A = this chain, B = another copy of it.
Protein backbone atom coordinates (compact mmCIF):
# COMPACT_ATOMS: atom_id res chain seq x y z
CA UNK A 1 0.00 0.00 0.00
CA UNK A 2 1.27 3.49 -0.77
CA UNK A 3 2.61 5.58 2.10
CA UNK A 4 0.11 8.29 1.23
CA UNK A 5 -2.78 5.83 1.61
CA UNK A 6 -1.41 4.66 4.95
CA UNK A 7 -0.93 8.27 6.02
CA UNK A 8 -4.62 8.83 5.29
CA UNK A 9 -5.60 5.70 7.21
CA UNK A 10 -3.61 6.90 10.21
CA UNK A 11 -5.43 10.26 10.17
CA UNK A 12 -9.08 9.24 10.31
CA UNK A 13 -11.82 11.87 10.60
CA UNK A 14 -14.27 9.43 12.17
CA UNK A 15 -13.74 6.34 14.30
CA UNK A 16 -16.28 3.72 15.30
CA UNK A 17 -15.61 1.37 18.21
CA UNK A 18 -17.59 -1.77 17.42
CA UNK A 19 -18.11 -3.65 20.63
CA UNK A 20 -17.83 -0.49 22.70
CA UNK A 21 -18.80 -1.19 26.27
CA UNK A 22 -19.68 0.43 29.56
CA UNK A 23 -17.70 -2.25 31.38
CA UNK A 24 -14.55 -0.43 32.49
CA UNK A 25 -12.62 -3.71 32.37
CA UNK A 26 -13.26 -4.20 28.68
CA UNK A 27 -11.23 -3.03 25.72
CA UNK A 28 -14.44 -1.76 24.11
CA UNK A 29 -14.62 0.70 26.97
CA UNK A 30 -10.91 1.49 26.89
CA UNK A 31 -10.70 2.36 23.20
CA UNK A 32 -13.72 4.67 23.50
CA UNK A 33 -12.19 6.25 26.56
CA UNK A 34 -8.84 6.78 24.83
CA UNK A 35 -10.40 8.60 21.87
CA UNK A 36 -11.94 11.08 24.28
CA UNK A 37 -9.01 11.25 26.68
CA UNK A 38 -6.33 11.69 24.00
CA UNK A 39 -8.32 14.44 22.32
CA UNK A 40 -9.37 12.81 19.06
CA UNK A 41 -10.99 15.68 17.13
CA UNK A 42 -13.04 13.72 14.63
CA UNK A 43 -16.32 11.92 15.17
CA UNK A 44 -16.48 9.11 17.71
CA UNK A 45 -19.12 6.41 17.26
CA UNK A 46 -19.42 3.76 19.96
CA UNK A 47 -21.36 0.76 18.63
CA UNK A 48 -23.26 -1.50 21.03
CA UNK A 49 -26.88 -2.67 20.79
CA UNK A 50 -27.40 -2.57 24.57
CA UNK A 51 -26.49 0.98 25.55
CA UNK A 52 -27.93 4.34 24.49
CA UNK A 53 -24.65 6.01 25.43
CA UNK A 54 -21.19 5.13 26.63
CA UNK A 55 -18.96 7.62 28.39
CA UNK A 56 -21.52 10.30 27.59
CA UNK A 57 -21.39 9.66 23.86
CA UNK A 58 -24.39 8.58 21.79
CA UNK A 59 -24.04 4.91 21.02
CA UNK A 60 -25.38 3.08 17.96
CA UNK A 61 -26.93 -0.38 17.84
CA UNK A 62 -24.95 -1.36 14.80
CA UNK A 63 -22.42 0.13 12.45
CA UNK A 64 -25.01 0.64 9.74
CA UNK A 65 -26.99 2.94 12.08
CA UNK A 66 -24.11 5.38 12.28
CA UNK A 67 -24.90 8.51 10.23
CA UNK A 68 -22.67 9.15 7.22
CA UNK A 69 -19.38 7.43 6.50
CA UNK A 70 -16.83 5.97 8.94
CA UNK A 71 -13.09 6.08 8.20
CA UNK A 72 -11.71 3.78 10.85
CA UNK A 73 -13.25 0.95 12.82
CA UNK A 74 -11.85 -0.54 16.00
CA UNK A 75 -13.24 -4.04 16.33
CA UNK A 76 -13.62 -5.37 19.89
CA UNK A 77 -16.19 -8.04 19.06
CA UNK A 78 -15.63 -11.81 19.05
CA UNK A 79 -13.92 -13.33 16.03
CA UNK A 80 -17.08 -15.06 14.84
CA UNK A 81 -18.92 -11.74 14.50
CA UNK A 82 -16.29 -10.09 12.32
CA UNK A 83 -17.64 -11.23 8.91
CA UNK A 84 -21.05 -9.68 9.60
CA UNK A 85 -19.42 -6.45 10.76
CA UNK A 86 -17.27 -6.31 7.64
CA UNK A 87 -20.44 -6.40 5.54
CA UNK A 88 -21.64 -3.29 7.33
CA UNK A 89 -18.19 -1.69 6.91
CA UNK A 90 -18.69 -1.83 3.15
CA UNK A 91 -21.88 0.22 3.48
CA UNK A 92 -20.13 2.82 5.63
CA UNK A 93 -17.18 3.12 3.22
CA UNK A 94 -14.77 2.19 5.98
CA UNK A 95 -11.13 2.52 4.93
CA UNK A 96 -9.51 0.42 7.63
CA UNK A 97 -10.53 -1.98 10.37
CA UNK A 98 -8.25 -2.44 13.34
CA UNK A 99 -9.01 -5.94 14.57
CA UNK A 100 -8.28 -5.87 18.27
CA UNK A 101 -10.32 -9.05 17.97
CA UNK A 102 -8.10 -12.10 18.47
CA UNK A 103 -8.38 -15.91 18.60
CA UNK A 104 -7.73 -16.45 14.93
CA UNK A 105 -4.83 -18.46 13.53
CA UNK A 106 -2.67 -17.89 16.62
CA UNK A 107 -4.84 -20.40 18.50
CA UNK A 108 -3.42 -23.14 16.29
CA UNK A 109 -6.98 -24.31 15.51
CA UNK A 110 -8.08 -25.06 12.00
CA UNK A 111 -11.51 -23.42 12.17
CA UNK A 112 -10.00 -20.22 13.54
CA UNK A 113 -7.40 -20.17 10.78
CA UNK A 114 -10.16 -20.70 8.18
CA UNK A 115 -12.18 -17.86 9.63
CA UNK A 116 -9.08 -15.65 9.43
CA UNK A 117 -8.65 -16.48 5.73
CA UNK A 118 -12.33 -15.76 5.08
CA UNK A 119 -12.05 -12.39 6.80
CA UNK A 120 -9.06 -11.49 4.64
CA UNK A 121 -10.88 -12.52 1.47
CA UNK A 122 -13.89 -10.45 2.42
CA UNK A 123 -11.79 -7.36 3.25
CA UNK A 124 -9.72 -7.62 0.07
CA UNK A 125 -12.87 -7.88 -2.03
CA UNK A 126 -14.32 -4.80 -0.37
CA UNK A 127 -11.10 -2.80 -0.53
CA UNK A 128 -10.99 -2.48 3.25
CA UNK A 129 -7.55 -2.65 4.83
CA UNK A 130 -6.94 -4.53 8.06
CA UNK A 131 -4.62 -3.79 10.97
CA UNK A 132 -4.12 -7.02 12.93
CA UNK A 133 -5.96 -9.13 13.93
CA UNK A 134 -4.89 -9.89 17.49
CA UNK A 135 -3.25 -6.53 18.21
CA UNK A 136 -3.58 -3.25 20.02
CA UNK A 137 -3.59 -1.15 16.86
CA UNK A 138 -2.42 2.42 16.70
CA UNK A 139 -0.99 4.80 19.27
CA UNK A 140 -0.79 8.12 17.50
CA UNK A 141 -0.91 10.72 20.21
CA UNK A 142 -0.81 13.71 17.88
CA UNK A 143 -4.04 12.55 16.27
CA UNK A 144 -5.72 11.37 19.48
CA UNK A 145 -5.39 7.61 19.01
CA UNK A 146 -4.11 5.50 21.90
CA UNK A 147 -4.15 1.97 23.23
CA UNK A 148 -3.22 2.60 26.84
CA UNK A 149 -4.39 4.70 29.74
CA UNK A 150 -1.09 6.19 30.74
CA UNK A 151 0.84 6.60 27.52
CA UNK A 152 2.34 10.02 26.89
CA UNK A 153 0.10 12.55 25.16
CA UNK A 154 2.95 14.51 23.60
CA UNK A 155 4.37 13.14 20.38
CA UNK A 156 8.05 12.55 19.62
CA UNK A 157 10.42 11.29 16.95
CA UNK A 158 10.30 7.49 17.46
CA UNK A 159 8.10 5.34 15.27
CA UNK A 160 7.48 1.70 16.17
CA UNK A 161 5.99 -1.27 14.39
CA UNK A 162 5.38 -4.15 16.70
CA UNK A 163 4.05 -7.68 16.69
CA UNK A 164 3.50 -7.37 20.41
CA UNK A 165 0.82 -5.10 21.79
CA UNK A 166 1.49 -5.57 25.49
CA UNK A 167 5.20 -5.24 24.79
CA UNK A 168 4.59 -2.09 22.77
CA UNK A 169 2.54 -0.38 25.45
CA UNK A 170 5.01 -1.48 28.11
CA UNK A 171 7.78 -0.09 25.97
CA UNK A 172 6.06 3.25 25.35
CA UNK A 173 5.61 3.59 29.08
CA UNK A 174 9.16 2.53 29.98
CA UNK A 175 10.67 4.65 27.23
CA UNK A 176 8.75 7.69 28.40
CA UNK A 177 10.59 7.46 31.71
CA UNK A 178 13.79 7.86 29.74
CA UNK A 179 12.43 10.90 27.90
CA UNK A 180 11.46 9.10 24.67
CA UNK A 181 8.31 10.11 22.77
CA UNK A 182 6.64 8.58 19.74
CA UNK A 183 5.27 9.67 16.39
CA UNK A 184 3.17 6.51 15.91
CA UNK A 185 3.29 3.03 17.34
CA UNK A 186 1.54 0.35 15.33
CA UNK A 187 0.84 -2.96 17.02
CA UNK A 188 -0.07 -5.24 14.12
CA UNK A 189 -0.33 -8.76 15.57
CA UNK A 190 -0.92 -11.44 12.97
CA UNK A 191 -0.24 -9.08 10.01
CA UNK A 192 -3.08 -10.62 8.03
CA UNK A 193 -3.39 -7.79 5.50
CA UNK A 194 -1.14 -4.78 6.13
CA UNK A 195 2.22 -6.16 7.15
CA UNK A 196 5.70 -5.18 8.31
CA UNK A 197 6.68 -3.93 4.85
CA UNK A 198 3.76 -1.50 4.63
CA UNK A 199 4.52 -0.10 8.06
CA UNK A 200 8.27 0.07 7.59
CA UNK A 201 7.92 1.88 4.28
CA UNK A 202 5.56 4.29 5.95
CA UNK A 203 7.91 5.09 8.82
CA UNK A 204 10.79 5.52 6.39
CA UNK A 205 8.75 8.17 4.61
CA UNK A 206 7.01 9.70 7.64
CA UNK A 207 8.53 13.15 8.28
CA UNK A 208 7.45 12.90 11.92
CA UNK A 209 9.61 9.81 12.49
CA UNK A 210 13.39 9.99 12.75
CA UNK A 211 14.14 6.74 14.59
CA UNK A 212 12.38 3.44 13.80
CA UNK A 213 11.87 0.56 16.24
CA UNK A 214 10.73 -2.89 15.14
CA UNK A 215 9.59 -5.81 17.26
CA UNK A 216 8.99 -8.69 14.89
CA UNK A 217 8.41 -12.41 15.29
CA UNK A 218 8.36 -13.42 11.66
CA UNK A 219 8.04 -11.27 8.54
CA UNK A 220 5.18 -12.20 6.20
CA UNK A 221 7.32 -11.26 3.21
CA UNK A 222 10.93 -11.90 4.21
CA UNK A 223 12.70 -11.03 0.98
CA UNK A 224 10.88 -7.74 0.51
CA UNK A 225 11.35 -6.92 4.19
CA UNK A 226 15.13 -7.28 4.15
CA UNK A 227 15.47 -5.38 0.87
CA UNK A 228 13.44 -2.60 2.35
CA UNK A 229 15.30 -2.71 5.67
CA UNK A 230 18.58 -2.21 3.80
CA UNK A 231 17.28 0.90 2.07
CA UNK A 232 15.56 2.33 5.14
CA UNK A 233 18.52 1.85 7.48
CA UNK A 234 20.54 4.18 5.27
CA UNK A 235 17.94 6.89 5.76
CA UNK A 236 17.04 6.52 9.44
CA UNK A 237 18.32 4.39 12.32
CA UNK A 238 16.27 1.21 12.59
CA UNK A 239 16.42 -0.80 15.82
CA UNK A 240 15.13 -4.33 15.48
CA UNK A 241 14.38 -6.95 18.09
CA UNK A 242 13.33 -10.44 17.05
CA UNK A 243 10.97 -12.48 19.18
CA UNK A 244 11.33 -16.23 18.80
CA UNK A 245 15.06 -16.73 18.51
CA UNK A 246 15.32 -20.13 20.13
CA UNK A 247 13.29 -23.30 20.14
CA UNK A 248 10.87 -22.34 22.87
CA UNK A 249 10.54 -18.78 21.65
CA UNK A 250 9.68 -20.09 18.21
CA UNK A 251 6.97 -22.29 19.66
CA UNK A 252 5.68 -19.22 21.48
CA UNK A 253 5.55 -17.02 18.39
CA UNK A 254 3.29 -19.55 16.74
CA UNK A 255 0.75 -19.26 19.54
CA UNK A 256 1.29 -15.52 19.89
CA UNK A 257 1.01 -14.18 16.35
CA UNK A 258 1.00 -17.37 14.27
CA UNK A 259 4.44 -16.35 13.03
CA UNK A 260 6.90 -18.81 11.60
CA UNK A 261 10.34 -17.99 12.91
CA UNK A 262 13.22 -19.21 10.76
CA UNK A 263 16.87 -19.92 11.40
CA UNK A 264 18.35 -17.43 13.80
CA UNK A 265 21.83 -17.42 12.36
CA UNK A 266 20.44 -16.62 8.91
CA UNK A 267 18.35 -13.88 10.47
CA UNK A 268 21.33 -12.34 12.23
CA UNK A 269 23.41 -12.39 9.09
CA UNK A 270 20.62 -10.74 7.09
CA UNK A 271 20.08 -8.03 9.69
CA UNK A 272 23.82 -7.35 9.90
CA UNK A 273 23.92 -6.79 6.12
CA UNK A 274 21.16 -4.22 6.28
CA UNK A 275 22.81 -1.97 8.83
CA UNK A 276 19.78 -2.10 11.09
CA UNK A 277 20.71 -2.28 14.77
CA UNK A 278 19.84 -5.58 16.44
CA UNK A 279 18.69 -5.72 20.06
CA UNK A 280 17.81 -8.67 22.30
CA UNK A 281 15.09 -7.15 24.42
CA UNK A 282 13.03 -4.02 24.91
CA UNK A 283 15.37 -2.64 27.58
CA UNK A 284 18.14 -2.59 25.04
CA UNK A 285 15.79 -1.06 22.48
CA UNK A 286 15.12 1.77 24.91
CA UNK A 287 18.86 2.31 25.40
CA UNK A 288 19.36 2.47 21.65
CA UNK A 289 16.33 4.63 20.91
CA UNK A 290 17.29 7.26 23.47
CA UNK A 291 20.85 7.23 22.13
CA UNK A 292 19.77 7.81 18.55
CA UNK A 293 17.29 10.48 19.61
CA UNK A 294 19.63 12.51 21.77
CA UNK A 295 23.21 11.91 20.68
CA UNK A 296 24.87 13.37 17.60
CA UNK A 297 26.35 10.76 15.25
CA UNK A 298 29.23 9.02 17.04
CA UNK A 299 32.58 9.24 15.26
CA UNK A 300 34.76 6.76 17.11
CA UNK A 301 35.04 4.39 20.09
CA UNK A 302 37.40 6.37 22.33
CA UNK A 303 35.59 7.10 25.59
CA UNK A 304 36.41 9.27 28.56
CA UNK A 305 34.77 8.09 31.80
CA UNK A 306 34.39 10.09 34.98
CA UNK A 307 32.42 10.03 38.20
CA UNK A 308 32.88 6.50 39.45
CA UNK A 309 35.00 5.80 42.49
CA UNK A 310 37.46 3.01 43.21
CA UNK A 311 36.32 -0.45 42.21
CA UNK A 312 33.23 0.67 40.29
CA UNK A 313 35.54 2.95 38.32
CA UNK A 314 37.78 -0.01 37.48
CA UNK A 315 34.76 -2.11 36.52
CA UNK A 316 33.44 0.71 34.33
CA UNK A 317 36.64 0.50 32.30
CA UNK A 318 36.32 -3.27 32.05
CA UNK A 319 32.71 -3.13 30.93
CA UNK A 320 33.37 -0.42 28.33
CA UNK A 321 36.24 -2.40 26.85
CA UNK A 322 34.17 -5.56 26.83
CA UNK A 323 31.45 -3.68 24.94
CA UNK A 324 33.96 -2.65 22.28
CA UNK A 325 34.86 0.88 23.35
CA UNK A 326 38.42 2.11 23.84
CA UNK A 327 39.51 3.72 27.07
CA UNK A 328 42.51 5.78 26.13
CA UNK A 329 44.95 6.72 28.92
CA UNK A 330 44.54 10.30 30.09
CA UNK A 331 46.47 12.30 27.45
CA UNK A 332 49.69 14.09 28.41
CA UNK A 333 48.18 17.47 27.50
CA UNK A 334 45.50 17.03 30.15
CA UNK A 335 48.00 15.91 32.78
CA UNK A 336 50.12 18.95 32.03
CA UNK A 337 47.15 21.22 32.22
CA UNK A 338 46.32 19.74 35.61
CA UNK A 339 49.90 20.24 36.72
CA UNK A 340 49.87 23.85 35.52
CA UNK A 341 46.69 24.42 37.48
CA UNK A 342 48.48 23.20 40.60
CA UNK A 343 46.57 19.94 40.97
CA UNK A 344 48.89 18.03 43.27
CA UNK A 345 47.79 14.59 42.09
CA UNK A 346 48.08 15.45 38.36
CA UNK A 347 50.11 12.31 37.64
CA UNK A 348 47.75 10.02 39.56
CA UNK A 349 44.49 10.89 37.81
CA UNK A 350 43.67 8.56 34.94
CA UNK A 351 40.84 7.57 32.63
CA UNK A 352 38.43 6.54 34.06
CA UNK A 353 38.70 9.49 36.40
CA UNK A 354 38.37 8.03 39.90
CA UNK A 355 36.07 10.34 41.84
CA UNK A 356 37.26 8.94 45.15
CA UNK A 357 40.77 10.36 44.80
CA UNK A 358 40.28 13.83 43.36
CA UNK A 359 38.31 15.48 46.16
CA UNK A 360 40.04 18.48 47.69
CA UNK A 361 42.60 19.00 44.92
CA UNK A 362 40.95 21.87 43.13
CA UNK A 363 39.56 19.81 40.28
CA UNK A 364 36.24 18.03 40.08
CA UNK A 365 34.48 15.53 37.85
CA UNK A 366 32.91 18.24 35.72
CA UNK A 367 36.31 19.86 35.15
CA UNK A 368 37.68 16.50 34.09
CA UNK A 369 34.77 15.81 31.75
CA UNK A 370 35.27 19.22 30.17
CA UNK A 371 39.00 18.70 29.73
CA UNK A 372 38.29 15.42 27.99
CA UNK A 373 35.53 17.04 25.91
CA UNK A 374 38.05 19.61 24.65
CA UNK A 375 40.68 16.98 23.86
CA UNK A 376 40.92 15.40 20.43
CA UNK A 377 41.71 11.95 21.85
CA UNK A 378 38.12 11.38 22.89
CA UNK A 379 35.09 10.57 20.76
CA UNK A 380 32.52 10.42 23.54
CA UNK A 381 32.12 10.83 27.27
CA UNK A 382 30.32 8.82 29.92
CA UNK A 383 29.56 10.39 33.28
CA UNK A 384 28.65 8.16 36.22
CA UNK A 385 26.26 9.99 38.48
CA UNK A 386 25.11 7.28 40.81
CA UNK A 387 28.58 6.63 42.08
CA UNK A 388 28.89 10.21 43.21
CA UNK A 389 25.76 9.74 45.26
CA UNK A 390 27.38 6.82 46.99
CA UNK A 391 30.51 8.75 47.71
CA UNK A 392 28.69 11.62 49.30
CA UNK A 393 25.96 9.70 50.99
CA UNK A 394 27.32 10.67 54.35
CA UNK A 395 25.96 14.10 53.68
CA UNK A 396 22.34 13.38 53.07
CA UNK A 397 21.36 17.04 53.27
CA UNK A 398 24.00 18.25 50.89
CA UNK A 399 23.63 15.50 48.32
CA UNK A 400 20.51 16.88 46.70
CA UNK A 401 22.14 20.22 46.03
CA UNK A 402 25.34 18.65 44.76
CA UNK A 403 23.44 16.37 42.42
CA UNK A 404 21.51 19.33 41.07
CA UNK A 405 24.81 21.10 40.42
CA UNK A 406 26.21 18.01 38.74
CA UNK A 407 23.31 17.75 36.33
CA UNK A 408 23.48 21.49 35.71
CA UNK A 409 27.15 21.04 34.85
CA UNK A 410 26.27 18.21 32.48
CA UNK A 411 23.66 20.44 30.87
CA UNK A 412 26.15 23.24 30.27
CA UNK A 413 28.72 20.78 28.94
CA UNK A 414 26.16 19.32 26.58
CA UNK A 415 25.25 22.79 25.31
CA UNK A 416 28.85 23.43 24.35
CA UNK A 417 28.43 20.57 21.86
CA UNK A 418 32.02 19.44 22.23
CA UNK A 419 31.45 15.68 22.54
CA UNK A 420 28.51 13.26 22.84
CA UNK A 421 27.72 12.88 26.54
CA UNK A 422 26.01 9.86 28.14
CA UNK A 423 24.99 9.71 31.79
CA UNK A 424 24.72 6.63 33.97
CA UNK A 425 22.36 6.76 36.90
CA UNK A 426 21.59 3.43 38.52
CA UNK A 427 18.39 1.77 39.52
CA UNK A 428 19.81 -0.49 42.18
CA UNK A 429 16.37 -2.02 42.52
CA UNK A 430 15.40 1.03 44.49
CA UNK A 431 11.84 1.15 45.46
CA UNK A 432 11.59 -1.45 48.16
CA UNK A 433 10.85 -0.23 51.63
CA UNK A 434 14.14 -1.57 52.90
CA UNK A 435 15.38 1.97 52.99
CA UNK A 436 13.33 5.10 53.09
CA UNK A 437 12.87 6.47 49.64
CA UNK A 438 14.96 9.62 49.97
CA UNK A 439 17.60 8.16 47.68
CA UNK A 440 14.91 7.06 45.24
CA UNK A 441 13.64 10.62 45.30
CA UNK A 442 17.12 11.95 44.57
CA UNK A 443 17.55 9.58 41.64
CA UNK A 444 14.15 10.58 40.35
CA UNK A 445 15.11 14.26 40.44
CA UNK A 446 18.38 13.59 38.65
CA UNK A 447 16.59 11.70 35.90
CA UNK A 448 13.95 14.34 35.50
CA UNK A 449 16.64 17.01 35.16
CA UNK A 450 18.64 14.93 32.70
CA UNK A 451 15.55 14.45 30.55
CA UNK A 452 14.89 18.19 30.65
CA UNK A 453 18.50 18.79 29.56
CA UNK A 454 18.21 16.29 26.71
CA UNK A 455 20.98 14.08 28.06
CA UNK A 456 20.45 10.34 27.60
CA UNK A 457 20.81 8.24 30.73
CA UNK A 458 21.28 4.52 31.27
CA UNK A 459 20.89 2.40 34.41
CA UNK A 460 24.33 0.78 34.15
CA UNK A 461 27.67 1.53 32.55
CA UNK A 462 27.44 -1.77 30.67
CA UNK A 463 24.19 -0.73 29.02
CA UNK A 464 25.53 2.74 28.19
CA UNK A 465 28.65 1.24 26.63
CA UNK A 466 26.70 -1.34 24.65
CA UNK A 467 24.38 1.32 23.28
CA UNK A 468 27.27 3.62 22.38
CA UNK A 469 29.08 0.85 20.53
CA UNK A 470 26.00 -0.16 18.55
CA UNK A 471 25.16 3.44 17.68
CA UNK A 472 28.75 3.89 16.50
CA UNK A 473 28.48 0.72 14.39
CA UNK A 474 25.31 2.07 12.82
CA UNK A 475 26.95 5.32 11.73
CA UNK A 476 30.07 3.52 10.52
CA UNK A 477 27.94 1.21 8.38
CA UNK A 478 25.94 4.14 7.07
CA UNK A 479 29.10 6.08 6.20
CA UNK A 480 30.44 3.27 4.08
CA UNK A 481 27.14 3.40 2.22
CA UNK A 482 27.19 -0.34 1.80
CA UNK A 483 23.75 -0.82 3.22
A→B interface (CB under 8 Å) = 24-25, 30, 102, 107-109, 148-150, 152, 162-170, 173-174, 176-179, 215, 217, 241, 243-249, 251-253, 255-256, 280-283, 286, 309-315, 317-322, 327, 329, 345, 347-348, 350-352, 354, 356-357, 387, 390-391, 393-396, 426-435, 437, 439-440, 443-445, 447-448, 451, 457, 459-462
Contacts and interface: CB of A to CB of B under 8 A. Distances in A.
B249 A387 contact: no
B248 A317 contact: yes
Contact of A437 (B256, B432, B444): B444
Contact of A348 (B152, B245, B253, B255): B255
Contact of A165 (B310, B320, B439): B310
A65 to B, nearest CB: 28
Contacts of A320: 248
16 contacts: A149-B396, A167-B315, A168-B311, A174-B426, A177-B429, A243-B311, A246-B317, A246-B321, A246-B327, A248-B317, A249-B317, A249-B318, A280-B462, A281-B319, A286-B429, A434-B451
A312 B282 contact: yes
Contact of A434 (B390, B396, B439, B448): B448
Given A351-B248, A434-B177, A311 B428 contact: no
Contacts of A352: 248, 252
B356 A166 contact: yes
A176 B434 contact: yes
Copies in the complex: 2
A314 B256 contact: yes
A286 B354 CA distance: 23
Contact of A432 (B162, B315, B350, B444): B444
Given A248-B317, A347-B108, A447-B432, A391 B166 contact: yes
A321 B215 contact: no
Nearest to A281: B315
A280 B318 contact: yes
A430 B177 contact: yes
Central interface residue in A173, A256, A315, A447, by most chain B CB within 10 Å: A315
Central interface residue in A348, A429, A433, by most chain B CB within 10 Å: A429
Given A24-B395, A435-B176, A314 B249 contact: yes
Contacts of A313: 252, 256
Contacts of A439: 150
A314 B177 contact: no
A375 B59 CA distance: 50
A174 B318 CA distance: 21
B429 A430 contact: no
Contacts of A435: 150, 173, 176-177
Contacts of A451: 432, 434
